[in-house]
Structures are given as C-alpha cells and as structure tokens.
A and B are shown apart, each in its own frame.
Chain A
Amino acid sequence: MSLLIDPEIAARVDRLELPFNTYGVDPYGASKQHLARLFTAFRFFYRHYFTVGVEGIEHVPARGRAMLVGNHSGGIAIDGAMVITSCFFELEPPRLAQGMAEKFMAQTPFMGLLATRSGQLTGLVETAEHLLHDDRLLMIFPEGARGTAKLYPERNTLVHFGSGFMRLAMKTRTPIIPFGFVGGGEAIPTIANSYALGKLFGAPYVPITPWGVALPAPVRLELTYSAPMTFEGSGTEEDEVIEGYVEEVKQRIAGLIEVGRERRRKALAWSRGAEDEARIEGEPGSTKEEQR
C-alpha cells in the first residue's frame, strides 16, 4: 500500500457500506484506494490545518437515502471537502457523502478522474436520482457556482437557491438535512473573481485573494447540521409551492450559519483568552490541544 495512505483510514474505508467490487471500485467509479488516499490528506486539513467544529452530526442518518443541503462558503470546494470528511470521520459506520460537481471538472484531465474516484460525480439530475435510488448520501449546494463566487463581505449571506433539489427530494421521498458552513470566506477571502483566468483553465472563474491565488488560510471552520426536514408531495407541484419549501430550507440554513458564527466567535475569543493565559503561565501550545 502507498505511503500516502494511513492504514487506520484504509480500515475505515473498508467499513463504508458501499458495494465495492473485487477491484475495490463501486458502481459509480469510487475507488477504495483513492478514498483512503483522499481521506488521509483531508484528515490533516480537517484536524490540523483548519480546525473544524462540527455540531449536529447525529442528524445524518447511518443508512438510507438522504440529502445534505447547505451553503457555499469559500471560493474553492473546501466546504464540500470538509462536509465529506466530517461524514467519514464522525459517523459510525462512516458514510461517503457524494457531491454533484460542475461539468468543467469532468472535462479537465485528472481533475474529473480524481473526483469520480472519490465518488464526486458530474452534477446531473439523472445521476442524483440514481444515487438516491441506491440509498446514497447526496451533498447539494443549491447556490451552485453563484455561491462560490461570493466575495469576502458577502461570505455569510445566501444567494439564490435552485429548486431542483427540492423536486428531487420530494419525488424520491428523501429527507433533507440542512447544514450551515462558516469560515470558508475567511479561509479564502475572495476580493475578486477572474473570469478571464477561468476561461484559460476551462473553469467558470478563478477566485483572487489578497495573497493572489486561492490557497486557503488555516482558520477555524464551523459546520452545523440540523434535524432532517421532509416535504410531502410528488415533486411535480407548481413553482410557487416548491419555492416556498426551498425558502423554508434556506431560512433554516441562514439560522445554522448564525449558530456557526456564534460558535466560531466564542471559540476564537476563548482561544485568544486561553493563549493569553498560557502566555502568563509560560507554556504556550499545551492549552491549544485541549480546545480541540
């Protein structure tokens, strides 16, 4: 096995309840080896580089179809990556959250391949429906690419939500687990989006930060899940009805963002206080471990 894979994580990947074949590949192309490598890398970001505070993970069901629906936070997909990582490390047994990526990913050599091998597929209604039919855990950002384009001052706001996820959830009788993500905007403070650079790389746009490229800063992130929401119906209702339901989810997520911001403020204040104390006691670092 590769040096880049922690055996403990490989053992955890083995416990994913997915129909992997002899070659360790599931019917959608996710591979055990890639997942183990990915989560070995993501654990470092999840536990050490960022500090991710998670609340309400118990709302994510252990089995059966479900849809994680939340806000975009930050110009590159650290929000999605950390949601997937939280479902892998915090749930027993671990679950693989599967996101719906932009089409340009699939067209880019290696990028599309890495995404597919870790269970992240091109965002299509048909594929999403099939995943739910197979009782998978779907991760949806209804803001889409508009959401990742948010600039630093808009980081904790919500832009327009698409309604496709709601129709699909109703049609397939899937519970929606809303989540709020806070801190991505601090990790990647977007000051502008370059559409010209985007064109060059085949992406919709490339976020520009004060330090130029979109490398995330090591900040504290807060992820808050809430109790599942279910909506009765067939998914064929009129737009007005559907949009009312979407608004309910959006309001719930806005509330979760506030919960996360509050927690983040407290954690930062506390850690600042703790650092001051530590400085007085003359042993910095020891208290930093405790707060985790």
Chain B
Amino acid sequence: MRVLIPGIGGVLGQRVARRLLEQGHEVIGIDRRPWHDAPPGIELHNVDIRKRAAEDVFRKRRPQAVIHMATVTHLVEKTAERYKINLGGTRAVFEHCRDWGVEHAIFVGRHTYYGAAADSPLYHKEEDPPMAVTTFPELSDLVAADLYACTALWRLPNLCTTVLRMAYTLGPTGHGTLATFLRGRHVPMVLGFDPLFHFMHEEDVTTAICLALEKRVQGVYNVAGPQPVPLSVVVRGTGRSPIPLPEIAFRAALGRFGLPRLPPGALAHIKYPVVVDSEAFRAATGFVHQVDEVRAMQEFRDAFPVRG
C-alpha cells in the first residue's frame, strides 16, 4: 500500500515509517522538519502540510492511506502557531484526502482529550465528552483537531476514517508529554494527590498505529497498553524523586529550581487521572501490548539516567 505520513519527522512518525517500510509498504513523508538518517526507501517532501506543495504530493503520488501525525502540543509550539498547525493542518489533510481519492485516513490524537477533573470517570469510553477544553485550555486546539477529524466520519462517507486517542508514550526515545515531564531529576507532584497515569511503550504505539492501518478500522478508538500506575510509581520507577508541593507552592515553583515549566491548566492533569478504556480497539484490531509498565519505565530510566 502507498502510505503518506504528514508529520513523519517526529519520533513516532519515524518509527511508524520504518515499521511500514519493513512490512513492505511504500512510504511517503511530509514534514517541515528534516529527517537526516531516513532509510533510503522512504520518499521525503520537505514542505508544510498547509502549503500548496503538500497538495501536490497528494496529486502526484495518490496515496491510498494517510496517517496524520502532524499535530503539536504546547511543549513544542506556542499559542498562535500551534493553532494554525493543529487546526489548519488537520483541515488540509482531510481536504486533500477527499480530493485525491485517499481510501483510509488515520488521525493520531491523544487521550488527554478527555481532560482530568475530580468528577471525571476512570476508564473513559470513546463517547465521553472532551472535558480537556475546560480543565486544560492549552489542549483545546488538539481537542478541536480531534473533533474535526471525527466529522470526516459523516462528511466524507467514501473515506474510511480512524481517530486514535493514544495514551502517553514512554520509552527510550524520551518522546512525549509524560517523558518531557519526567526528564529532570526531581519531579513535582501536588501534595495529597497521586493520580493514575496511563502510558504505553513507543513500540506498542507504533504497533497500534500500524494495526489500525492494516485492519482498516473505522471510527474513534482509545488506545492504551498496560494498566495505569500512580504518578509516584512512575516517578520512582524511572529513577526520579518526587517533590510533593502544596498546590500554592506548586504553581510558584514551576519553571524554577530545575522543575519543568507547565501551563497552569496542566495542574489538573497532575492532580487527577486521565485513564481510558481501550477494549474497543483491542477487539477491533486484535491489538495486544508487548511491553509492560515496568519495562517501559526501565527503558526510559536507562536511556535518561539521572546524573550525579
């Protein structure tokens, strides 16, 4: 199959591309970022997904499937540009899919869509509303991108659309929101709170995305690996030390003393859990995670040991 991956330059994009190449697919990538050591079999286009040149890739290469991974978080881009990439980019991808005869489009989203709050249920099902809009406004553009992708399910009946809401990634590449939060030696926690964190190894993330392509599942699916573990366990399991701070001190200390910088809304996500039910995805694709939570934490710890 000819597969186009917008956002191929990211860590996950590269992994998915390599895996698809191994499986014998023809892989084409679009990204503004360069990928220097790309395997020779992959055709790269160094263009912005929102620009005319990107449409030309669709027009000339006529991919059968598209895996849209060109969305960014607040960790990468600041406000205005992020909105443009996440919303404008997603729109462009789906319009090109419609216009150039793509059969299957996969939107790779995030489980933080559901948001964290004291009264949000454990094990979100796909129909749960996106509370992240209120709990964590910095995520609202990603929520909007997710919902926009969902509209393709009824707007573009000829296109098979898959929306994946992936749990946090954790593994040796140190990629992702959770890994970034855990990068330092000390990890701040809110005193008196220790929510469950749902994460999966990057190998399993790659497997899940490739399975969604292979099985051509239509609809919205939560994707998660092993069972969630408390944040304190994640912190210790990755060799870090938790610094429990009262909520007021926590707000003041962020971005100082070597602690990670976080937007104010992130606080809810450190107090309350976002845990998803991925049964539907497992049933539809036969997905089984290979790496358990212990090994995922261990591999991150080995790749990013605490110095001193």
Contact = CB atoms under 8 A, between A and B. Distances in A.
A26 B275 CA distance: 13
Which size bracket describes the interface of A in this complex? 20 to 34
A71 B141 CA distance: 46
B294 A22 contact: yes
Interface string B176-203: 0000000000000011111110000000
Given A103-B118, A106-B118, A106-B119, A21 B227 contact: yes
A9 B233 CA distance: 23
B227 A19 contact: yes
A29 B121 contact: no
A222 to B, nearest CB: 33
Contact of B118 (A29, A110, A122): A122
A127 B122 contact: yes
B126 to A, nearest CB: 12
Interface residues of B, number: 31
B222 to A, nearest CB: 13
Contacts of A28: 122, 196
A105 to B, nearest CB: 8
B123 A127 contact: yes
Interface of A: 19, 21-23, 25-29, 31, 103, 106-113, 121-122, 124-127, 130
28 contacts: A19-B227, A21-B226, A21-B293, A22-B293, A22-B294, A23-B233, A23-B237, A25-B230, A25-B233, A27-B228, A29-B122, A29-B228, A29-B230, A29-B273, A31-B230, A106-B119, A106-B272, A107-B118, A109-B193, A109-B246, A110-B192, A112-B192, A113-B192, A121-B122, A122-B119, A122-B121, A124-B119, A130-B277
Given A26-B227, A28-B196, 13 more contacts: A21-B229, A22-B293, A25-B230, A28-B122, A29-B122, A29-B228, A31-B230, A103-B119, A109-B192, A112-B192, A113-B193, A121-B122, A122-B121
